[in-house]
């Protein structure tokens, strides 16, 4: 249990405001030259000076904290991150508050790290950075391989050894720190360097195994976005098989280890020799089969004598002549039928004219029989008024009477 310090200020002492503030500052800094505090970060502000101001809190209290520019930080500072900070207490008399100056900061355990990584993963995935559709295929036979890793680490040596065993190619190294505050920026710079120079066929980003905290630079946004922006196919070979970093999702291919990345990027000499042997066998088999088929076809050819060839051609000519004769005869018959039809045309026209004549005579007789003159001849008469209209009642005044032999005027 914390003990209450004894008071050294006497009741009769009177201080100025500045003296009291200075005294308090010395007391606080003397009592807390170094302290470790666990809590959650919030209200993070990055000043133009490069300093970062924030609050570290838990359920019961909150303390102002400062990270001076240049203080190494191995991960991205974000609101809600649970951390353990190491620093010293001090006061700021101008605002009458106390604060802690942070000398080092670390994530508070694996659970907090995994939570942060999952939140970042969801954010980047929502932007489409991990979509399978944007993955690029690896070249089958790369001539030059770019490696972004530490030049002194085991990962680079493992890659070189495996490449020499499998399929020796030219290797370009971009030396980068793979752990610590500057690692993420250096790895991203390596990826961008090879893309700018365009001097390699494939890029391997590699690092050996380590703790989750050690591998964090490979989950920083700057690294993920550099991998996504690479137009050169990129393999992630970070950590060991169980380890996963966000660059694994952004890379075109994820390898379980740096050695595995080397195995993925080139084939083995033995496998190539076997593939060439298989191709040679298939070509030989196909060639022998083709020759066999051609030989069979040659043997099946029947060489005919010139006389037989002439006779066969003569038969074809006879068949053609017979066919032409049938076609010509058919044409002649059709033309003959048309001529006969034309020769019968006058008779046909005469018959049609006689029929029309008889029809006219019959029509004339019908008109004559239906004429009102015949009715007048039988003793009837037509009475008309002065407008020459027929009168059919006794109410109108008659003006003329038409008989079969003439008209009588009644004026």
The residue that leads in pLDDT, 326 or 410, is 326
CA distance 217 to 178: 7
The residue that leads in pLDDT, 341 or 230, is 230
CA distance 38 to 60: 13
pLDDT of residue 149: 95
C-alpha pair distances (Å), 222 with each of 76, 171, 188, 360:
10, 25, 6, 111
Q: Return the ∠ at Cα 58 (arms to 181 and 31), rounded to 5°.
A: 75
Q: In this predicted model, what pLDDT tens digit does every residue of 186-212 receive, in sequence order?
A: 999 999 999 999 999 999 999 988 887
Determine how many CB atoms are found less than 10 A away from the CB of residue 211: 12
Q: How does residue 94 score in pLDDT terms, banded at 50, 70 and 90?
A: confident
pLDDT of residue 251: 94
Residue 83: closest CA among 35, 41, 111, 43: 41
Q: In this predicted model, what pLDDT tens digit does every residue of 95-146 receive, in sequence order?
A: 778 889 898 887 776 667 777 788 889 999 999 999 999 999 999 889 999 9
Provide CB contacts within 8 A for 178, sequence distance 6+.
Answer: 149, 150, 153, 155, 187, 207, 217, 218
pLDDT of residue 172: 95
Q: Does pTM top 0.85 for this prediction?
A: no
Q: What is the mean pLDDT of residues 150-166?
A: 90
Edge-to-edge strand list for the sheet holding 382-384 = 382-384, 400-403, 406-409
C-alpha pair distances (Å), 395 with each of 135, 175, 391, 392, 408:
114, 137, 9, 9, 20
Q: How does residue 302 score in pLDDT terms, banded at 50, 70 and 90?
A: low
CA distance 352 to 349: 5
Structure tokens belonging to residue 326: 């049938």
Q: Are 247 and 223 in contact (CB under 8 A)?
A: yes
C-alpha pair distances (Å), 3 with each of 6, 61, 145, 383:
9, 20, 63, 156
Residue owning tokens 């004429």: 371
Q: In this predicted model, what pLDDT tens digit does every residue of 277-288 receive, in sequence order?
A: 677 767 777 777
pLDDT of residue 292: 76
C-alpha pair distances (Å), 302 with each of 296, 309, 311, 314:
12, 12, 16, 19
Q: In this predicted model, what pLDDT tens digit does every residue of 61-77 receive, in sequence order?
A: 998 999 998 888 877 78
* Pairing assessment for the beta strands 144-149 and 202-207 based on DSSP bridges: parallel
CA distance 148 to 192: 10
pLDDT of residue 197: 94
pLDDT of residue 301: 64
Helices (H), 300-394: 306-343, 345-369, 372-377
pLDDT of residue 109: 67
Q: In this predicted model, what pLDDT tens digit does every residue of 370-387 receive, in sequence order?
A: 777 777 777 788 888 888
Determine how many CB atoms are found less than 10 A away from the CB of residue 123: 11
């Amino acid at each position: 249990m914390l003990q209450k310090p004894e008071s050294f200020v006497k009741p009769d002492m009177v201080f100025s405001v500045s003296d009291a503030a200075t005294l308090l500052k010395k007391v606080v800094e003397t009592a807390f030259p170094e302290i470790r505090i666990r809590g959650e970060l919030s209200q993070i502000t990055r000043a133009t000076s490069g300093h970062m101001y924030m609050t570290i809190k838990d359920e019961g209290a909150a303390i102002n904290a400062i990270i001076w520019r240049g203080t190494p930080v191995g991960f991205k500072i974000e609101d809600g991150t649970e951390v353990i900070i190491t620093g010293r207490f001090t006061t700021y008399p101008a605002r009458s508050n106390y604060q802690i100056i942070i000398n080092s900061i670390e994530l508070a355990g694996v659970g907090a790290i995994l939570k942060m990584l999952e939140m970042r993963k969801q954010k980047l995935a929502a932007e489409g950075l991990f979509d399978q559709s944007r993955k690029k295929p690896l070249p089958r036979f790369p001539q030059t391989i770019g490696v972004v890793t530490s030049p002194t680490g085991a990962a680079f040596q493992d890659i070189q050894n495996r490449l020499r065993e499998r399929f020796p190619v030219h290797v370009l190294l971009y030396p980068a720190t793979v752990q610590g505050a500057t690692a993420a920026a250096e790895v991203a710079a390596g990826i961008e360097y090879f893309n700018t120079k365009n001097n390699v066929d494939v890029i391997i980003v590699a690092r050996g195994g380590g703790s989750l905290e050690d591998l964090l630079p490979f989950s920083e946004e700057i690294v993920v976005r550099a991998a996504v922006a690479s137009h050169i196919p990129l393999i992630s070979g970070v950590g060991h098989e169980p380890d996963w970093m966000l660059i694994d999702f952004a890379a075109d291919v994820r390898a379980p280890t740096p050695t595995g990345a080397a195995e993925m990027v080139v084939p083995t000499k033995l496998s190539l020799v076997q593939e060439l042997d298989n191709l040679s066998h298939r070509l030989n088999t196909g060639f022998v089969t083709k020759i066999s088929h051609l030989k069979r076809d040659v043997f099946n050819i029947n060489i005919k004598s010139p006389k037989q060839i002439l006779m066969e051609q003569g038969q074809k000519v006879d068949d053609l002549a017979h066919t032409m004769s049938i076609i010509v005869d058919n044409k002649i018959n059709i033309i003959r039928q048309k001529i006969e039809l034309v020769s019968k045309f006058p008779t046909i026209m005469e018959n049609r004219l006689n029929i029309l004549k008889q029809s006219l005579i019959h029509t004339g007789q019908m008109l004559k029989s239906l004429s009102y003159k015949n009715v007048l001849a039988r003793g009837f008469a037509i009475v008309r008024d002065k407008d020459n209209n027929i009168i059919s009642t006794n109410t109108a005044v008659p003006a003329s009477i038409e008989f079969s032999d003439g008209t009588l005027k009644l004026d």
